[in-house]
C-alpha cells in the first residue's frame, strides 16, 4: 500500500508540472513517504531525513516534505525531531501536496496538514496514476478503499488512515481499463480491509460484486487483493474463488492468535473455530487455494484495558 501511495504521489506531482529525478542531489523537493508500524522503522526514517540535511546545507532552497502514517502520527512534533522538514502531510492530504508546497513557498515557513477529510481526494481516479503504473509493466496496484472501522486493540490504522471510505466502482473500473490499455495484465486491489468494500457508497455493491465487474474487463488476466479481515469474509466472496476464473487462487487472511481469549482481547470479532470454518469453506470452494496469514507472539493486556504488542 505504501508503494502505491508513493506511485500516486509521484503521479500527482508530475501532473502538477514537476519532473521526477533518480538523483536526490538534483532534487528541489524531496518527498518522504513513511510507515508507522515499528519504532525501528521510525528511527530509520528520522536518520534518513537527517542525511538530507547535508544536501540542504548545500542547497538552502531544497524543500523536504514528509507524509504517510508516521507523519500522521507525529504531526507537528515531527518538526521538533527533524527541524529541517518543511512540510508534514497526513494520509488524507496526498492529493493536496502540490498546493501545500506552493502555500509553504508563499508563507516561507514549515506547514503541517494532518486533518482527516470527509472524503479522501486521493481515492478519486487519477489519469496520471494509470500512466505511472502502466508503461510496459504487467502488474499494477489499484486502491479500492482506505481506512478501517474494526478497531483491533493493537492497531493504529483507524487513527492514522481514518474510518473506512470506499471508492465508487465506476472510478475503479475506469482506472483498470486505462491500465489494461497500457499493457497491464494483473491488478492487486488494495485496502486496509477490502472485505468491507462498499460501505457508504451510493451504489449497492459488495466486494464480491466489484470483483465480478473487474473480471469483465477485457484484456485483464489476473486479479489479486489484500488485505482481508476474517470477520468480514462472507460466503459471497468465498464463492468468487470457485466461479471467477481471473481471481488468483490465493488469500491473505491474518488470524493473529489461536486462543479465543486472546482474540477477544484483541477485539478481532471472531473465534478460533469461526476462522477455521472460513478456511474449510475456502478449501471446499477452491481446493488448490493458497492461504497465508499473520500471527502475533507475545500479545499482552495492561490492567487499563489498553493492549500492546511487545514485539512483532
- Percentage with pLDDT > 90 across the chain: 62
Give the Cα separation of 261 and 256 in Å (integer). Answer: 12
Lowest-pLDDT choice from 44-58, 187-201, 250-264: 44-58
Give the Cα separation of 209 and 213 in Å (integer). Answer: 6
DSSP states of 261-297? HHHHHHT-S--HHHHHHHHHHHHHH-TT-EEE--B-S
The answer to whether residue 287 sits within a structural domain is no
Give the Cα separation of 98 and 96 in Å (integer). Answer: 6
pLDDT confidence of residue 309: 39
Residue 311: pLDDT band with limits 50, 70, 90: very low
Domain boundary among 237, 253, 269: 253
Give the Cα separation of 252 and 224 in Å (integer). Answer: 10
The answer to whether residue 259 sits within a structural domain is no
Instruction: Look up the domain containing 32 and give its range.
Output: 2-113
The answer to whether residue 258 sits within a structural domain is no
Which has more confidence, 81 or 37? 81
Asked if the model's pLDDT at residue 308 lies above 80, the reply is: no
The answer to whether residue 195 sits within a structural domain is yes
* Residue among 254, 276, 120, 246 at smallest CA distance from 176: 246
Computed over every residue of the chain, the mean pLDDT equals: 88
Domain boundary among 85, 113, 141: 113
Residue 178: pLDDT band with limits 50, 70, 90: very high
Do residue 37 and residue 145 come from a single domain? no
* Residue among 144, 143, 147 at smallest CA distance from 155: 147
DSSP reduced 3-state for 49:
helix
Give the Cα separation of 242 and 230 in Å (integer). Answer: 18
Do residue 52 and residue 156 come from a single domain? no
The answer to whether residue 302 sits within a structural domain is no
The answer to whether residue 262 sits within a structural domain is no
Q: What is the pLDDT of residues 44-98, one digit of tens each?
A: 888 888 888 889 888 889 999 999 888 999 999 988 888 889 999 999 999 999 9
Domain boundary among 253, 274, 293: 253
Category of 34 on φ-ψ map: left (φ > 0), alpha (ψ -120 to 50) or beta: beta
Do residue 109 and residue 6 come from a single domain? yes
The answer to whether residue 237 sits within a structural domain is yes
pTM over 0.75: yes
Amino acid at each position: 500500500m505504501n508503494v502505491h501511495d508513493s506511485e500516486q504521489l509521484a503521479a500527482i506531482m508530475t501532473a502538477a508540472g514537476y519532473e521526477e529525478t533518480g538523483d536526490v542531489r538534483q532534487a528541489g523537493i524531496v518527498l518522504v513517504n513513511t510507515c508507522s508500524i515499528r519504532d525501528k522503522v521510525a528511527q530509520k526514517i528520522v536518520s534518513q531525513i537527517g542525511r538530507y540535511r547535508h544536501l540542504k546545507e548545500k542547497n538552502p532552497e531544497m524543500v523536504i516534505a514528509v507524509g504517510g502514517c508516521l507523519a500522521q502520527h507525529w504531526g507537528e512534533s515531527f518538526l521538533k525531531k527533524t527541524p529541517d522538514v518543511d512540510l508534514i502531510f497526513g494520509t488524507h492530504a496526498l492529493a493536496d501536496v502540490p498546493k501545500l508546497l506552493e502555500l509553504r513557498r508563499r508563507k516561507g515557513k514549515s506547514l503541517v496538514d494532518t486533518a482527516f477529510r470527509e472524503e479522501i481526494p486521493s481515492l478519486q481516479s487519477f489519469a496520471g496514476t494509470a500512466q505511472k503504473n502502466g508503461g510496459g509493466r504487467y502488474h499494477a496496484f489499484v486502491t479500492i478503499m482506505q481506512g478501517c472501522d474494526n478497531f483491533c486493540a493493537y492497531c493504529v490504522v483507524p487513527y492514522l488512515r481514518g474510518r473506512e471510505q470506499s471508492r465508487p466502482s465506476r472510478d475503479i473500473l475506469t482506472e483498470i481499463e486505462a491500465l489494461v490499455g497500457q499493457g497491464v495484465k494483473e491488478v492487486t486491489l488494495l485496502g486496509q480491509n477490502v472485505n468491507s468494500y462498499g460501505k457508504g457508497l451510493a451504489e449497492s455493491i459488495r466486494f464480491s460484486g466489484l470483483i465480478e465487474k473487474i473480471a469483465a474487463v477485457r484484456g485483464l488476466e489476473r486479479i489479486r487483493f489484500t488485505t482481508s479481515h476474517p470477520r468480514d469474509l462472507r460466503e459471497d466472496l468465498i464463492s468468487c474463488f470457485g466461479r471467477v476464473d481471473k481471481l488468483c487462487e490465493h488469500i491473505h487472511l491474518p488470524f493473529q492468535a489461536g486462543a479465543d481469549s486472546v482474540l477477544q482481547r484483541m477485539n478481532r470479532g471472531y473465534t478460533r473455530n469461526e476462522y477455521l470454518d472460513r478456511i474449510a469453506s475456502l478449501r471446499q470452494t477452491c481446493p488448490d487455494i493458497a492461504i497465508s496469514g499473520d500471527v502475533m507472539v507475545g500479545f499482552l493486556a495492561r490492567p487499563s484495558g489498553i493492549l500492546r504488542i511487545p514485539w512483532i
